[in-house]
Amino acid sequence: MASQKEASMSRSGSGLTRSRDNRILGGVCGGIAEFLGWRPLTVRVIYVVGSIVSAAFPGALIYVILWFVMPAREERVINV
């Protein structure tokens, strides 16, 4: 039986990457949503609420760091 992480990696291709399809700024929340199998809006709302509610979670700084650290998803070209 495959673990949840292995199932997520097989869905997204190669693990945690920034989204090309579900992006507003850098595709970070969209990539996290694709990795977890969640809706991008859900991840964005949780991220914003967590950033506002918690003084210990500097949301904008973490987002910028993730934008540079997370690789962009490579486009797959399918030749027919």
Q: Which residue has the higher pLDDT, 1 or 48?
A: 48
Residue 12 and residue 20: Cα distance in Å, rounded?
12
The half-sphere exposure of 45 on its side-chain side, counting CA atoms within 13 A, is 5
Tell me what pLDDT residue 13 has: 56
Tell me what pLDDT residue 15 has: 87
**Domain definitions of the chain by residue range:** 4-69
Residue 31 and residue 76: Cα distance in Å, rounded?
16
Tell me what pLDDT residue 37 has: 94
pLDDT in tens, 16-67: 999 988 888 899 999 999 999 999 999 999 999 998 898 777 888 999 999 9
